[in-house]
Structure 1
Amino acid sequence: MTAINALRTSTSGLNAQATKLSGISNNIANSSTVGYKRVDTQFESLVLEGSSSGSYSMAGTQANNRVEISKVGQVQYTGTDTDIAVNGTGFLVVNETSDSDGKYLATRAGSFRPDAYGNLVNSAGYYLQGVKLGADGEPVDNAGDNNVEGLTTVNINNISVASAPTTEMRTWFNLPKTETGYANPPPDADSFVSSIDYYDLTGGTQTLTYRFTPRIPEEDGASDTNTWTLEIFDSASGDLSSTDTFDTTKRVAAIGMQFWSTGDYAGTIGAIWDESGALLADADFLTQQTTMAAAGSAPVLSGVPNPATYGATAASPSTDYGDTDNLAAASVLGTYDSETGVLTVKVGVQGGYEGYDLPITIGTFNSFEGITQLTGSYQETKVEKDGSGFGLLERVSVEEDGQVIATFSNGKSRAIYELKLAVFPNANGLNPVSGDAYEMSLAAGAVRLLQPGDGAAGTTSGASLESSNVDIGTELTNLIETQRAYSSNASVIRTADQMMEEATNLKR
């Protein structure tokens, strides 16, 4: 190799080390940048000419900086709900504009904050994209899992309030068995009363008042009747100007209930009379009661007992369990489904408005999971209901499956967006742009949008960020090596220059 070739080779070495130095300096400068991917410098030798004999003419080296896109950084908890980190494979999808009309990009820089309009935007000015969900949790406009253009900017200002009516309720009670025996005087009319709130169609709070009245025998020494009347009064029904909780215009349910007194099912519901006018009963229970009534060892139940007289007196008492023509004086309300154990009542009935159906689970025949009549005190054993009142948006969080959850001041939560992760066959082929984002390119392959946690996609972590994948110790070591390599190349250039000067002096 001539001195001139040595100069050219070492000069390429200086340029290559300078290229590496620029990558190291960029890594160190961005060691604290969220989602930053380290620049790695790769060297390759240059050959001007080679031969089959193995001899070649060398021309030095050149360096290429490559971004280590697929190398993940450490996920750190931040406590800020709108921060998002990706655990594993995949990228968050962002857009250059809030209306999603700009270029779609991929990023792992998940430090998002709402702008003045509620759009989630990161520190680089890119807007987070997702699938908008309706109140039912289904996509509002689903353009397909692999359609990037079907995504829209995540906005948390378009969900400000929330309320939902109560559409189902589960109420279980224990009724004291001892109260269905002879008593003189009878217990107070309001001895067994409970009030349970529910939400109407506008999110307002209303109250259902349950009143249980035992049917007691008319004479001392008679056996327990094991029979009760259940009335339910609705604060949103009937005469709203009345302050009487038990105003008959507010009554939305009035049914008769009879319980097993012996056997394996003692204390459970055996029969119910509802507004259909039919006796609903377990077959074995009906056989037992009919037999006992014929023998005079059990009281005859004639429809729904009248709570006004504790059921001791009813209009035209009947000895036929199948006779439902003569019920108590009180109107019978509510439809019972013996298969599901649901009593359906109409609430909000007033004026010309018919109200709406509210199914209330009270239990099936022969089941202890429902209203029971056991020895003991009167008490509510279970109260469950859905629905919610008026509530303001309090916070937004991100789940592992990519769902953006809105939590309201009424304690209710629901998903408002679903994030998708962009997965590429060759993530390192993406084209880096400013702001730690990447353009989708042919070299990266076709993008697939996957729900976090599905297939090759990683999961999302809310209130967390992925830190830079730069290791400062490694970069400082590389800095020292680069400095020495640069100095060594400079030394070669000085030596070659001296040799050329010596050769020039030989001509003089």
Structure 2
Amino acid sequence: MGIYGAINAAISGLKSQSYALENISGNIANSQTIGYKRLDTSFADLVASGGTDQTTQIAGTVLANSRATNDIAGDIQRSDIDTFMAINGDGYFVVQQKVGESDGRSIFSGDNVYTRRGDFQFDEEGFLVNGAGYYLFGNAIDATTGNPSGSVPELIQIQNDILPATATTEIQYRAKIATYPLTTNADPADPGSELLVGTPGADITAATESDFLASSVAGEAITIYNDNGSPVNVQLRWAKTENADPTAGPPATLDTWNLYYLTDADATGANARYTNVGEFQFNGNGSLAVPATTSITLSNVTVNGAVVGDVNFNFGSGGLTQTYDPNGRVTVNTLNQNGFSTGDQTGVKISGNGRIVATYNNGQTRALYEIPIASFNADGRLARLEGGAFAQTTDSGVPLFSATGSVEGNALEASNTDIADEFSKLIITQQAYSANTRIVTSGDEMLQEALNMVR
């Protein structure tokens, strides 16, 4: 190949090291770019002529190529912004670019691209767009089933919609009831004084309310809701109506209790003040007698004139027990219900399972979208686009929605550029470039010597 070949090889080295320097420069420049994937440089030697016999071959030129690092994750950093998100593991967000507007509404490209950049925030139309101008896609959640309503991602748009009220249809109630209730009338020296004064199981009228209150104990209260979201306060009380008779033969007399709720605080005379929910019998070990009551449905529940409708009291299996308590009271373990008032949206955040969840001022939350994560068989073959996005190519394969990564809210993925590593590569590149210039200089001097021989 001779002197000219050596100079040619050195020049290819200069070009390749310049190529490497450009990648290093770009990596360092993007060391703080969210979700940036650095470009490494691969060098490939080109064999010079010399036949197939290696002993006659000589070193040739060099070619530089970029090597993608899409599958190397950056560090995940915490953020105070609820709509920021990061992918922990494999995968990409599905996004599109905005190409214009028509009648004040945004128009999008229609071509999905993919990114790891998760600094998404809402624009004026309720779309989630990241700092590079890419708009997020997701799968809408069916409010009834709680599952995605389709498999094809759609553009995510969040409206500040009102969450309609939902009437209460179930009250979950679990409690421990004292074996001996310390009612106002209760006197340990007077057996039976702790029992209900009045007819067991009957509703309590306004005329008999004082006797009822003196011979019953509080079972706590809960707010439920009717169809229009109006709150209704339900006050519960327990009254023991019969003590077990250990001398009685089968079927033995059991401890018997009745549960009541306040129906009408303004009732007078013979009108019902408290309504009976049901009767409960307990074995000596404190468990409900067989058949154990696990739920009771009350028809057309009305409290102080507010109609709620049918409400199921759900006690669950083993939810009601009778136990010794020196305080003689009812200890409620669970008391909640499934209704709520109308709610205004107060915020949006990303849940731990990768869903966009809206929060409301009535304490409710609702999942609106599930964020899909796309993966590719050949990440390194994706086409790089501006703004940290990637496009599908023939070599990358089609997107697969079975990525092993997960979405984390209040987080961002940092660039995978390591400044120290880039500086190390910079030193090596600079030295290699300088060494190639020496080859050119030496080749030039050798050519001068050859030309001087003819003088």
TM over 0.5: yes
Aligned to 1:342: 296
Equivalent residues in 2 for 1:345-364, closer than 5 Å: 345-348=299-302, 356-362=309-315
Aligned partner letter, 2:38: R
| Aligned counterpart for 2:441 among listed residues 494, 497, 505 | 494
Take 1:246 and 1:485, find their aligned partners in 2: how far apart are those partners?
101
Aligned runs of 1:172-187 on 2, under 5 Å? 172=174, 174=177, 176-177=180-181, 181=192
1:438 to 383, 386, 390: 390
- 1:210 and 1:114 mapped to 2: Cα distance? 46
Letter in structure 1 aligned against 2:122: P
Q: Deviations over 1:158-216 (max 9, x none)?
A: 54546433221123563755759359996644344554211222322112233556669
Residue 236 of structure 2 corresponds to 210
Residue pair 1:164, 1:201 contacting (<8 A) in 2 also: yes
Q: CA deviation at 1:339?
A: 5.3
Cα RMSD of the aligned pairs, angstroms, is 3.5
SS in 1 for 2:47: strand
Shift of 1:445: 2.0
**Do structure 1's residue 196 and structure 2's residue 216 form an aligned pair?**
no
What secondary structure sits across from 1:156 in the alignment?
Answer: coil
Question: What aligned pairs does 1:442-461 form with structure 2 within 5 A after superposition?
Answer: 442-450=394-402, 457-461=404-408
Whole-angstrom CA distance in 2 between matches of 1:247 and 1:202: 31
After superposition, give the CA deviation of every residue in 1:328-351 in whole Å (9 maximum; x if it has no partner): xxxxxxxxxx65332433235999
| Distance in 2 of aligned mates of 1:393 and 1:57 | 73
Q: 1:477 aligns with which of 424, 427, 450?
A: 424
Say how many residue pairs are matched. 412
Cα offsets for 1:93-129 (capped at 9, x unmatched): 1111366652211111111111112211111111111
- Residue in 1 aligned with 2:153? 151
Residue equivalent to 2:370 = 418
Under a length normalisation based on structure 2, what TM-score does the superposition of the two structures give?
0.79
Residue of structure 2 in register with 1:276 after alignment? none
Segments of 5+ residues of structure 1 without an aligned counterpart are 145-149, 218-223, 236-242, 271-281, 284-337, 451-455
Q: Report the counterpart of residue 254 of structure 1 in structure 2.
A: 276
Q: What is aligned with 2:261?
A: 232
Deviation at 1:497, TM superposition (A): 2.0
Match of 1:38 in 2: 38
Equivalences for residues 38-187 of structure 1 within 5 A: 38-54=38-54, 55-56=56-57, 58-97=59-98, 101-139=109-147, 141-142=149-150, 144=151, 150-161=152-163, 163-172=165-174, 174=177, 176-177=180-181, 181=192
User: How far off its partner does 1:408 sit?
Assistant: 2.2
Q: Give the equivalent residue in structure 2 for 1:275.
A: none
Distance in 2 (CA, whole Å) between partners of 1:197 and 1:41 is 66
- In the alignment, the residues of structure 2 paired with residue 372 and residue 345 of structure 1 have an alpha-carbon distance, to the nearest angstrom, of 27
Output aligned runs, 1:391-410, within 5 Å: 391-410=343-362
User: Structure 1 vs Structure 2: percent identity of aligned residues?
Assistant: 30
Contact kept? 1:233, 1:246, Cα under 8 Å: no
Task: Measure the CA separation in 2 of the matches of 1:102 and 1:459.
Answer: 25
- CA pair 71-347 structure 1, distance change in 2 beyond 3 A: same
Secondary structure of residue in 2 paired with 1:81 = coil
Cα deviation, 1:271-293, whole Å, max 9, x if unaligned, reads xxxxxxxxxxx58xxxxxxxxxx
Question: 1: CA distance between counterparts of 2:196 and 2:432?
Answer: 107
Q: Corresponding residue for 2:206?
A: none
User: Where does the alignment leave 5 or more consecutive residues of structure 2 unmatched?
Assistant: 99-105, 198-209, 244-252
Matched to 1:232, the amino acid is Y
- Match of residue 200 from structure 2: none
Q: Provide TM-score, normalisation by structure 1.
A: 0.71
Q: Secondary structure at the match of 1:359?
A: strand
- Whether the aligned pair in 2 keeps the contact of 1:137 and 1:414 (CA below 8 Å) is no
